[in-house]
Structure 1
Amino acid sequence: MSFDKETTPTANTKSDRGAKYRGACVEDLQLPPAFCLSQNAPISHALEAAYEREFDQLPILNERRKPIGYLHVPTLKQKFQAGSIREDDPVSKSVTHFPLSSKSHPYTVIQPLTPLEELEHFFISKGTDFALVTDAERKWVLAVATKDDLETFVKRRG
Protein backbone atom coordinates (compact mmCIF):
# COMPACT_ATOMS: atom_id res chain seq x y z
CA MET A 1 0.00 0.00 0.00
CA SER A 2 1.48 3.33 -1.01
CA PHE A 3 0.58 6.81 0.14
CA ASP A 4 0.97 10.09 -1.62
CA LYS A 5 0.49 13.69 -0.52
CA GLU A 6 -2.92 13.97 -2.16
CA THR A 7 -4.47 11.02 -0.32
CA THR A 8 -2.56 10.92 2.96
CA PRO A 9 -4.37 12.88 5.68
CA THR A 10 -2.32 15.50 7.47
CA ALA A 11 -2.83 17.55 10.60
CA ASN A 12 -3.27 20.59 8.36
CA THR A 13 -6.58 19.47 6.89
CA LYS A 14 -9.65 20.94 8.51
CA SER A 15 -11.16 17.60 9.53
CA ASP A 16 -7.90 16.42 11.10
CA ARG A 17 -6.81 19.75 12.58
CA GLY A 18 -6.74 18.26 16.08
CA ALA A 19 -4.84 15.12 15.05
CA LYS A 20 -1.53 16.79 15.87
CA TYR A 21 -2.64 17.13 19.51
CA ARG A 22 -3.57 13.43 19.89
CA GLY A 23 -6.30 14.03 22.46
CA ALA A 24 -4.27 16.39 24.64
CA CYS A 25 -5.92 19.15 26.65
CA VAL A 26 -4.82 22.54 28.02
CA GLU A 27 -3.59 20.88 31.21
CA ASP A 28 -1.02 18.97 29.12
CA LEU A 29 0.65 22.26 28.13
CA GLN A 30 2.07 22.43 31.69
CA LEU A 31 1.62 26.20 31.85
CA PRO A 32 3.04 28.23 34.72
CA PRO A 33 0.45 29.64 37.13
CA ALA A 34 -1.02 32.95 36.05
CA PHE A 35 0.03 36.12 37.77
CA CYS A 36 -2.95 38.46 38.03
CA LEU A 37 -3.07 42.08 39.11
CA SER A 38 -5.77 44.17 40.67
CA GLN A 39 -7.05 47.02 38.54
CA ASN A 40 -5.78 49.34 41.27
CA ALA A 41 -2.18 48.04 41.22
CA PRO A 42 0.46 50.57 40.14
CA ILE A 43 2.04 50.39 36.68
CA SER A 44 5.45 49.86 38.33
CA HIS A 45 4.19 46.62 39.89
CA ALA A 46 2.91 45.39 36.50
CA LEU A 47 6.20 46.16 34.74
CA GLU A 48 8.23 44.49 37.47
CA ALA A 49 6.04 41.36 37.54
CA ALA A 50 6.07 41.02 33.75
CA TYR A 51 9.86 41.38 33.65
CA GLU A 52 10.46 38.84 36.44
CA ARG A 53 8.13 36.26 34.89
CA GLU A 54 8.81 37.04 31.21
CA PHE A 55 5.07 37.51 30.53
CA ASP A 56 3.66 39.55 27.64
CA GLN A 57 0.09 39.59 28.98
CA LEU A 58 -1.05 40.11 32.54
CA PRO A 59 -4.67 39.40 33.49
CA ILE A 60 -6.38 42.24 35.36
CA LEU A 61 -9.00 41.56 38.02
CA ASN A 62 -11.72 43.74 39.52
CA GLU A 63 -12.36 44.09 43.25
CA ARG A 64 -14.36 40.81 43.20
CA ARG A 65 -11.32 39.05 41.61
CA LYS A 66 -13.13 38.56 38.29
CA PRO A 67 -11.10 38.96 35.08
CA ILE A 68 -12.01 42.25 33.40
CA GLY A 69 -9.19 42.54 30.89
CA TYR A 70 -5.46 42.34 30.40
CA LEU A 71 -2.32 44.40 30.04
CA HIS A 72 -0.31 43.95 26.87
CA VAL A 73 3.14 44.44 28.35
CA PRO A 74 4.98 45.63 25.19
CA THR A 75 2.36 48.38 24.73
CA LEU A 76 2.59 49.25 28.43
CA LYS A 77 6.38 49.63 28.12
CA GLN A 78 5.97 51.93 25.10
CA LYS A 79 3.46 54.12 26.96
CA PHE A 80 5.78 54.29 29.97
CA GLN A 81 8.82 55.22 27.87
CA ALA A 82 6.80 57.85 25.99
CA GLY A 83 5.73 59.40 29.30
CA SER A 84 1.99 58.93 28.72
CA ILE A 85 1.74 56.88 31.93
CA ARG A 86 3.67 57.09 35.18
CA GLU A 87 4.85 54.27 37.40
CA ASP A 88 2.40 55.22 40.16
CA ASP A 89 -0.64 55.28 37.80
CA PRO A 90 -3.10 52.42 38.33
CA VAL A 91 -3.08 49.64 35.73
CA SER A 92 -6.76 50.43 35.08
CA LYS A 93 -5.47 53.39 33.05
CA SER A 94 -3.93 50.99 30.50
CA VAL A 95 -6.08 47.85 30.68
CA THR A 96 -7.62 46.36 27.53
CA HIS A 97 -11.09 45.34 28.64
CA PHE A 98 -12.70 42.10 27.55
CA PRO A 99 -15.89 42.60 25.56
CA LEU A 100 -19.01 42.02 27.59
CA SER A 101 -20.63 38.66 26.93
CA SER A 102 -23.29 39.00 24.26
CA LYS A 103 -24.57 37.21 21.19
CA SER A 104 -22.06 39.09 19.03
CA HIS A 105 -19.16 38.50 21.49
CA PRO A 106 -19.87 35.28 23.40
CA TYR A 107 -17.51 34.48 26.26
CA THR A 108 -15.51 31.30 25.64
CA VAL A 109 -14.50 29.31 28.70
CA ILE A 110 -11.04 27.79 28.38
CA GLN A 111 -10.29 25.47 31.28
CA PRO A 112 -7.62 22.83 32.04
CA LEU A 113 -9.63 20.01 30.40
CA THR A 114 -10.40 21.95 27.20
CA PRO A 115 -9.03 19.96 24.22
CA LEU A 116 -6.11 21.65 22.47
CA GLU A 117 -7.95 21.63 19.14
CA GLU A 118 -10.64 23.81 20.79
CA LEU A 119 -7.94 26.15 22.07
CA GLU A 120 -6.48 26.38 18.57
CA HIS A 121 -9.96 27.10 17.16
CA PHE A 122 -10.38 29.84 19.79
CA PHE A 123 -7.14 31.51 18.68
CA ILE A 124 -8.15 31.34 15.02
CA SER A 125 -11.78 32.38 15.42
CA LYS A 126 -11.10 35.23 17.88
CA GLY A 127 -7.95 36.45 16.13
CA THR A 128 -6.02 36.51 19.39
CA ASP A 129 -2.64 35.19 20.50
CA PHE A 130 -3.55 34.20 24.07
CA ALA A 131 -6.33 32.85 26.26
CA LEU A 132 -6.98 33.00 29.98
CA VAL A 133 -7.36 29.51 31.44
CA THR A 134 -9.97 29.56 34.20
CA ASP A 135 -11.91 27.12 36.30
CA ALA A 136 -15.29 26.08 34.87
CA GLU A 137 -17.16 28.78 36.82
CA ARG A 138 -14.68 31.49 35.71
CA LYS A 139 -13.91 32.35 39.34
CA TRP A 140 -10.12 31.96 39.11
CA VAL A 141 -7.56 32.63 36.41
CA LEU A 142 -5.25 29.62 36.50
CA ALA A 143 -2.88 30.30 33.59
CA VAL A 144 -2.39 32.14 30.32
CA ALA A 145 -2.10 29.98 27.19
CA THR A 146 -0.54 31.34 23.98
CA LYS A 147 -0.25 30.25 20.36
CA ASP A 148 3.44 29.71 21.07
CA ASP A 149 2.52 27.23 23.81
CA LEU A 150 0.59 25.17 21.25
CA GLU A 151 3.46 25.26 18.75
CA THR A 152 5.98 24.26 21.42
CA PHE A 153 3.73 21.39 22.52
CA VAL A 154 3.46 20.01 18.98
CA LYS A 155 7.25 20.27 18.46
CA ARG A 156 7.91 18.61 21.82
CA ARG A 157 5.60 15.70 21.02
CA GLY A 158 7.09 15.24 17.58
Structure 2
Amino acid sequence: MAAAVTPSVPRQSLASTLGANSDKYRGAVVEDLQLPPAFALPSTEPIARAIELAYERDFSHIPVLDKNRRPLGYIDVTKLKEKWEAGQADPASKISKYMTKFVRNSSEPYTLITPWTPLLELENFLRSNIFALVTDSDRKFVLAVATSQDLESFVTRRGL
Protein backbone atom coordinates (compact mmCIF):
# COMPACT_ATOMS: atom_id res chain seq x y z
CA MET A 1 0.00 0.00 0.00
CA ALA A 2 1.20 3.48 -0.73
CA ALA A 3 -0.24 5.39 2.19
CA ALA A 4 -1.39 8.94 1.73
CA VAL A 5 -1.21 8.76 -2.04
CA THR A 6 -3.70 10.74 -4.07
CA PRO A 7 -6.13 8.20 -5.53
CA SER A 8 -5.60 7.46 -9.21
CA VAL A 9 -9.31 6.83 -9.77
CA PRO A 10 -11.43 9.96 -10.35
CA ARG A 11 -13.60 10.81 -7.34
CA GLN A 12 -16.92 10.20 -9.13
CA SER A 13 -15.80 6.84 -10.45
CA LEU A 14 -14.36 5.92 -7.08
CA ALA A 15 -17.56 6.83 -5.26
CA SER A 16 -19.68 4.73 -7.58
CA THR A 17 -17.27 1.78 -7.37
CA LEU A 18 -17.09 1.84 -3.59
CA GLY A 19 -20.76 2.68 -3.18
CA ALA A 20 -21.69 -0.49 -5.03
CA ASN A 21 -19.55 -2.50 -2.62
CA SER A 22 -20.29 -0.71 0.64
CA ASP A 23 -22.89 -3.26 1.75
CA LYS A 24 -20.35 -6.01 1.17
CA TYR A 25 -17.92 -4.96 3.90
CA ARG A 26 -19.81 -7.39 6.11
CA GLY A 27 -19.06 -5.59 9.34
CA ALA A 28 -15.35 -5.15 8.64
CA VAL A 29 -13.49 -2.37 10.42
CA VAL A 30 -10.37 -0.34 9.62
CA GLU A 31 -8.19 -2.86 11.47
CA ASP A 32 -9.23 -5.47 8.85
CA LEU A 33 -7.46 -3.42 6.15
CA GLN A 34 -4.13 -4.52 7.70
CA LEU A 35 -2.54 -1.12 7.12
CA PRO A 36 1.19 -0.69 7.75
CA PRO A 37 2.24 1.68 10.54
CA ALA A 38 1.89 5.34 9.63
CA PHE A 39 4.76 7.34 8.23
CA ALA A 40 4.65 10.87 9.56
CA LEU A 41 7.14 13.67 10.05
CA PRO A 42 7.82 16.08 12.90
CA SER A 43 6.92 19.70 12.19
CA THR A 44 10.59 20.63 12.53
CA GLU A 45 11.72 18.46 9.59
CA PRO A 46 13.52 20.45 6.86
CA ILE A 47 11.78 20.65 3.48
CA ALA A 48 14.64 18.96 1.62
CA ARG A 49 14.58 15.92 3.91
CA ALA A 50 10.77 15.69 3.80
CA ILE A 51 10.76 15.64 0.00
CA GLU A 52 13.54 13.05 -0.07
CA LEU A 53 11.67 10.76 2.35
CA ALA A 54 8.40 11.21 0.47
CA TYR A 55 9.94 10.17 -2.83
CA GLU A 56 11.73 7.19 -1.25
CA ARG A 57 8.35 5.94 -0.09
CA ASP A 58 6.33 7.17 -3.07
CA PHE A 59 3.99 9.28 -0.92
CA SER A 60 2.25 12.40 -2.13
CA HIS A 61 0.87 13.50 1.27
CA ILE A 62 2.52 13.06 4.67
CA PRO A 63 1.02 13.78 8.10
CA VAL A 64 2.89 16.33 10.23
CA LEU A 65 3.11 15.83 14.00
CA ASP A 66 3.98 18.07 16.93
CA LYS A 67 6.66 17.24 19.51
CA ASN A 68 4.12 15.07 21.38
CA ARG A 69 3.33 13.14 18.16
CA ARG A 70 -0.14 14.68 17.82
CA PRO A 71 -1.34 15.46 14.28
CA LEU A 72 -1.01 19.10 13.24
CA GLY A 73 -1.67 18.82 9.51
CA TYR A 74 -0.06 17.40 6.40
CA ILE A 75 2.24 18.35 3.59
CA ASP A 76 1.33 18.04 -0.06
CA VAL A 77 4.68 16.86 -1.40
CA THR A 78 3.98 17.87 -5.01
CA LYS A 79 3.08 21.44 -4.07
CA LEU A 80 6.01 21.68 -1.70
CA LYS A 81 8.44 20.46 -4.37
CA GLU A 82 7.02 22.97 -6.87
CA LYS A 83 7.59 25.82 -4.38
CA TRP A 84 11.12 24.61 -3.74
CA GLU A 85 11.94 24.38 -7.45
CA ALA A 86 10.45 27.85 -8.06
CA GLY A 87 12.69 29.28 -5.35
CA GLN A 88 9.70 30.08 -3.11
CA ALA A 89 10.78 27.67 -0.35
CA ASP A 90 14.17 27.34 1.31
CA PRO A 91 15.21 23.65 1.48
CA ALA A 92 16.34 24.21 5.08
CA SER A 93 12.98 25.68 6.18
CA LYS A 94 10.76 23.64 8.47
CA ILE A 95 7.80 21.86 6.89
CA SER A 96 5.48 23.45 9.46
CA LYS A 97 5.74 26.64 7.44
CA TYR A 98 4.27 24.93 4.35
CA MET A 99 1.87 22.36 5.80
CA THR A 100 -1.90 22.38 5.51
CA LYS A 101 -3.14 22.64 9.07
CA PHE A 102 -6.02 20.56 10.33
CA VAL A 103 -8.94 22.75 11.32
CA ARG A 104 -10.13 22.03 14.82
CA ASN A 105 -13.20 24.01 15.68
CA SER A 106 -16.91 23.52 16.19
CA SER A 107 -17.79 24.46 12.59
CA GLU A 108 -15.58 21.70 11.20
CA PRO A 109 -15.68 18.83 13.70
CA TYR A 110 -12.88 16.29 13.83
CA THR A 111 -13.89 12.90 12.45
CA LEU A 112 -12.41 10.19 14.61
CA ILE A 113 -11.14 7.21 12.61
CA THR A 114 -9.78 4.39 14.78
CA PRO A 115 -8.91 0.75 14.08
CA TRP A 116 -12.50 -0.06 15.15
CA THR A 117 -14.23 2.33 12.75
CA PRO A 118 -16.53 0.45 10.34
CA LEU A 119 -15.31 0.45 6.73
CA LEU A 120 -18.58 1.96 5.53
CA GLU A 121 -17.91 4.98 7.77
CA LEU A 122 -14.34 5.20 6.44
CA GLU A 123 -15.66 5.04 2.87
CA ASN A 124 -18.02 7.94 3.56
CA PHE A 125 -15.17 9.98 5.02
CA LEU A 126 -12.90 9.27 2.03
CA ARG A 127 -15.50 10.53 -0.43
CA SER A 128 -14.52 14.08 0.52
CA ASN A 129 -10.95 13.56 1.77
CA ILE A 130 -7.74 12.35 0.15
CA PHE A 131 -6.78 10.19 3.12
CA ALA A 132 -7.77 9.39 6.69
CA LEU A 133 -5.49 9.38 9.68
CA VAL A 134 -6.18 6.35 11.81
CA THR A 135 -5.59 7.32 15.43
CA ASP A 136 -6.08 5.88 18.87
CA SER A 137 -9.42 6.74 20.45
CA ASP A 138 -7.84 9.66 22.35
CA ARG A 139 -6.41 11.09 19.08
CA LYS A 140 -2.95 11.18 20.62
CA PHE A 141 -1.12 9.00 18.10
CA VAL A 142 -1.33 8.43 14.37
CA LEU A 143 -1.38 4.67 13.87
CA ALA A 144 -1.87 4.42 10.11
CA VAL A 145 -3.02 6.26 7.02
CA ALA A 146 -5.98 4.92 5.02
CA THR A 147 -6.85 5.78 1.43
CA SER A 148 -9.58 4.90 -1.02
CA GLN A 149 -7.06 2.57 -2.65
CA ASP A 150 -6.91 0.60 0.60
CA LEU A 151 -10.68 0.09 0.49
CA GLU A 152 -10.55 -0.95 -3.17
CA SER A 153 -7.78 -3.44 -2.39
CA PHE A 154 -9.78 -4.87 0.52
CA VAL A 155 -12.86 -5.35 -1.65
CA THR A 156 -10.74 -6.98 -4.39
CA ARG A 157 -8.99 -9.33 -1.92
CA ARG A 158 -12.36 -10.42 -0.59
CA GLY A 159 -13.65 -11.05 -4.11
CA LEU A 160 -16.57 -8.70 -3.62
Q: Partners of 1:157 and 1:80 in 2: how far apart?
A: 42
- The structural deviation recorded for 1:86 is 2.1
Higher RCO, 1 vs 2 (CA within 8 Å, ≥6 residues apart):
2
- The structural deviation recorded for 1:12 is 4.0
Letter in 2 for 1:118: E
Q: What SS is found at the alignment partner of 1:154?
A: helix
1:94 to 98, 116, 134: 98
Q: What SS is found at the alignment partner of 2:84?
A: helix
Q: Partners of 1:139 and 1:93 in 2: how far apart?
A: 22
1:144 correspondence with 2:148: no
Specify the alignment match of 2:48 in structure 1.
44
1:118 to 117, 121, 127: 121
Q: Partners of 1:43 and 1:109 in 2: how far apart?
A: 29
- 1:7-156 aligned at under 5 Å gives the runs 12=19, 18-102=22-106, 104-124=107-127, 127-156=128-157
Q: What SS is found at the alignment partner of 1:122?
A: helix
Provide TM-score, normalisation by structure 2.
Answer: 0.82
- The structural deviation recorded for 1:48 is 1.6
Q: Partners of 1:72 and 1:20 in 2: how far apart?
A: 32
Q: Partners of 1:101 and 1:59 in 2: how far apart?
A: 19
The runs of 5 or more residues in structure 2 that have no matched partner are 1-17
Q: CA RMSD in A?
A: 1.6
1:66–1:12 Cα change, 3 Å? closer
Q: What SS is found at the alignment partner of 1:50?
A: helix
The runs of 5 or more residues in structure 1 that have no matched partner are 1-10
Q: What SS is found at the alignment partner of 2:152?
A: helix
Q: Partners of 1:12 and 1:70 in 2: how far apart?
A: 27
Q: Partners of 2:60 and 2:36 in 1: how far apart?
A: 13
* Aligned-pair identity (%): 54
Provide TM-score, normalisation by structure 1.
Answer: 0.83
Specify the alignment match of 2:4 in structure 1.
none
